[in-house]
Chains A and B, each alone.
Chain A
Amino acid sequence: MCQVDEEYNGQLDHRVTPRVSKKCVKCKENTTVLIIRAGDAFCRGCFKEYFIHKFRAMLGKNRVIFPGEKVLLAVSGGPASSSMLSQVQEGLSRDAPKKLRFVPGIIYIDEGGASGQSMEERKRAVAQLESVFRATNYHYHIVHLEQVLSLPSSVLEAGSSATGKPPTGSSYKAAVDHLIPTRKNQNQHPDLSVENAQSHLSNLSMQEVQNGVTSPITPEHTQALKRLFASVRTPTAKEDLLHTLRQHLILHTARTQGYTKVMMGDSCSRLAIKLLSNISLGRGASLATDTGFSDPRHGDVVIVRPMRDYSSKEIAYYNRMFDIPSVFIPGLDSKAQDKASIQRLTESFVTKLQTDFPSTVSTIYRTSEKLHTACPPQNTNTQLSAKCLLCVCALDTKLEEFSAYQATLISEQLSQRRGPGPEFTPGTTAAPGSPPASSAGQGHSSGGGQSQGCETGDGGCCSSAKEPETVDLKSLLCYSCRLTIKDMTALDALPQYILSEAERRRSQMREEISEFLLDEEEDEAIPRVNGS
């Protein structure tokens, strides 16, 4: 087979497409309407069952949503999150004892300020979505991205989880079982009491804050936001920054409104793309939390992704066939070139590969399922400053002298162009802006210790007054957030809460280091002793 002179006479030219039968593979009766994965053709009814079952199985397998919990649904208006919303509605409405029990709320973030939409377009989109939300009768919050400028800095602190130890499977079962006997014991109206309690709860929350829309924004806020995004040079960093700010806003809303879980609508395809692009961005260390089912990095608020088993094709067909309303809102990367940003490039790569090899996305998905967060050794050194300032993932504060990251820093230092003082900013160095992804991906994603940051700071301090501020912010960030910040020209455009939190952590670090520094008075005391 593998001989030199072998000729393949065009037999391998076209892929043999399997002939698809006209009958559904499940019920074998009805005519098929769509194909999922390699060759499974489903009819309409079986597809609907399959779709709904997957959602409940995903929630049931990972027992993190407890009965009675307040869950915030992050809806962007796109097909996946709209589908998630309809699944939640579907799951909560059933009368069966297996119905989902939690109290949902909806959040929508209006990002029009960042993506350059006009106020009328934004208002129109918001109005469309509001009508969808009102039809669900759930409490909803409409938040504008401009509000990220006025967040408190407590957003960046990881809260402690509500219960002391993580909830185990047995406590989950106990919590669910508790509900069932109470229904049996009610003689007169078995079903109504629980229903009444839940509807009473939701009515209460509706009455407290009648309107889901938060305070209106001023044009100055929009200008400040535009300035922030204009100061970011590359679309990659823009998307990364947008994602981070969005997470902060959702987290803040969840915390202030008392939600303990957030459901994001990331589909399988979206997560596969995110996995690969995160590796390219330098976020390899936090892959498990970024793409896994549950994301516990914030402590008190857990982010879950129940749609992670659905490919975008399944979602699109379901929405179309069963009339799920979704609103398309153009974002930062709409109509962008294929090579505009790392995320966009990865997306076009994966989708193109998917057409020829239909198992691409599911293979990547299964790989991501195997990733688990390694529990860090519990020692007293893990404190708040061990988390990245922006993305709240774990910083590796241990100094590794000969790591690949150190090497990239040294080569960056050596190849910096020593220009005149005021014009010198870190972004104009001759060194490549983003060091090769391979060095980051190979596990040495040490964020660099505190003294490491000072070393580069000392090197930079000589050349410009702006350097210390940039470098000090960098020492609080993980590797990929550093790259994002590096692409920003004006760091003071960052929202106030980030800058003040950075200042607070820096002074905390200084206090800790100061114990080890020699006091100046001790130096003066020595000659006095000698002199006397």
Chain B
Amino acid sequence: MAAPIAIHLEFGGGAELLFGSVKEHHVTLPNQSEPWDMKQLLVWIRGNMLKERPELFVQGDTVRPGILVLINDADWELMVGVLPECVLCVKD
């Protein structure tokens, strides 16, 4: 059981063009039985936030090569496993 999580997303380096040229987004992820992880978050972003050209942002399970993801200002590759419940940052 996961309560709705409020997260703060930031897009930069051109990625914001796909989100209506808005760099900062505050969103609340809905209630869900399993805890949220990055894969689900990306699917959610693709379904709810992406305005155009989904293939430029998401490729299959993960982000398109070339897009860098920071979670709390730390490299995504450093983390393994489940998304922690806190502020999150997505940057190109």
Task: Mark A residues whose CB is within 8 Å of B.
Answer: 20, 22, 32-35, 41, 79, 312-313, 316-317, 320-321, 326, 328, 330, 334-335, 348, 351-352, 354-355
Contacts and interface: CB of A to CB of B under 8 A. Distances in A.
A316 B17 contact: no
A352 B68 CA distance: 13
Given A316-B91, A320-B91, A351-B66, A32 B78 contact: yes
Given A32-B78, A35-B75, A35-B77, A355 B65 contact: yes
Main secondary structure of the interface of B (DSSP, over half): mixed
Given A335-B53, A335-B56, A41 B78 contact: yes
B42 to A, nearest CB: 15
Given A321-B73, A328-B12, A351-B65, A34 B78 contact: yes
Contact of B74 (A33, A313, A352): A33
B70 interface: yes
A207 B68 CA distance: 43
Given A35-B78, A313-B68, 10 more contacts: A32-B74, A34-B74, A316-B91, A317-B68, A317-B70, A321-B73, A328-B16, A335-B56, A351-B66, A352-B65
Contacts of B12: 320, 328
Interface of B: 12-14, 16-17, 53, 56, 65-66, 68, 70, 73-75, 77-78, 89, 91-92
B39 to A, nearest CB: 16
Contacts of B53: 335
A305 to B, nearest CB: 21
A15 to B, nearest CB: 13
A330 B14 CA distance: 7
B91 A34 contact: no
Given A313-B68, A320-B91, A34 B13 contact: no
Contacts of B77: 20, 34-35
A354 B64 CA distance: 12
Contacts of A313: 68
Contacts of B65: 348, 351-352, 354-355
B16 A320 contact: no
Contacts of B78: 20, 22, 32-35, 41
B14 A316 contact: no
B14 A328 contact: yes
A20 B14 CA distance: 30
B4 to A, nearest CB: 27
A34 B75 contact: yes
A353 B69 CA distance: 18
A320 B68 CA distance: 11
Contacts of A335: 17, 53, 56
A352 to B, nearest CB: 5
Max count, chain B CB within 10 A of own CB: residue among A20, A34, A79, A313: A34
B17 A320 contact: no
16 contacts: A32-B78, A33-B78, A79-B13, A316-B91, A316-B92, A320-B89, A326-B13, A328-B12, A328-B16, A330-B14, A334-B17, A335-B17, A348-B65, A351-B65, A354-B65, A355-B65
Nearest to B63: A355
Contacts of B14: 328, 330, 334
Contacts of B70: 317, 320
A327 to B, nearest CB: 11
Contacts of A41: 78
A348 B65 CA distance: 8
Max count, chain B CB within 10 A of own CB: residue among A22, A35, A320, A351: A320
A354 B78 CA distance: 17
Contacts of A79: 13
